[in-house]
Amino acid sequence: MLDWTDRHCRYFHRTLSRRARLYTEMITTGALLHGDLARHLDFDSAERPVALQLGGSEPDELAHCARLGERWGYDEINLNCGCPSERVQRGSFGACLMAEPALVADCVRAMRDAVSIPVTVKHRIGLDRNEDYGFVRDFVGHLFDADCRVFIVHARNAWLKGLSPKENREVPPLRYATVHRLKRDFPSATFVLNGGLHTLAEARAQLAFVDGVMLGRAAYHDPYLLAQVDASLFDADAAVPARADIVAAMEDYLRRAVAAGERPRAIVSHMLGLYQGRPGARRWRRMLSDPEFLAREGRHALSAAAGGFGARVALAD
Using DSSP's 3-state secondary structure scheme, residue 128 falls into coil
Cα–Cα dist 2/174, whole Å:
22
Query: Could you check whether the bond before residue 223 is cis, i.e. omega within 30 degrees of 0?
Result: no
280 three-class SS: coil
Give the C-alpha separation, 210 to 201, whole Å. 15
Rg over alpha carbons for the chain, rounded to the nearest Å, is 20
DSSP per residue over 12-40, as a string? Answer: HHHHH-SSSPEEPPPEEHHHHHHS-HHHH
**Which of 83, 96, 107, 148 is the catalytic position?**
83
162-182 burial string, b = 16+ CB within 10 Å, else e?
ebeeeebbeebebbbebbbbb
Name the residue type at position 80. N
**Contact by Cβ (8 Å): 16, 227:** yes
Going from the C-alpha of 23 to that of each of 13, 63, 274, the distances in angstroms are: 11, 19, 20
- Are 194 and 112 a contacting pair, CB within 8 Å? no
SS3 percent helix, strand, coil of the chain, rounded to 5, is 55, 10, 35
3-class SS at 152? strand
Query: Which whole-number Å values give the CA distances from 18 to 14, 180, 242, 250, 273, in the listed order?
Result: 6, 27, 14, 15, 19
83 tagged catalytic:
yes
Catalytic machinery residues = 83
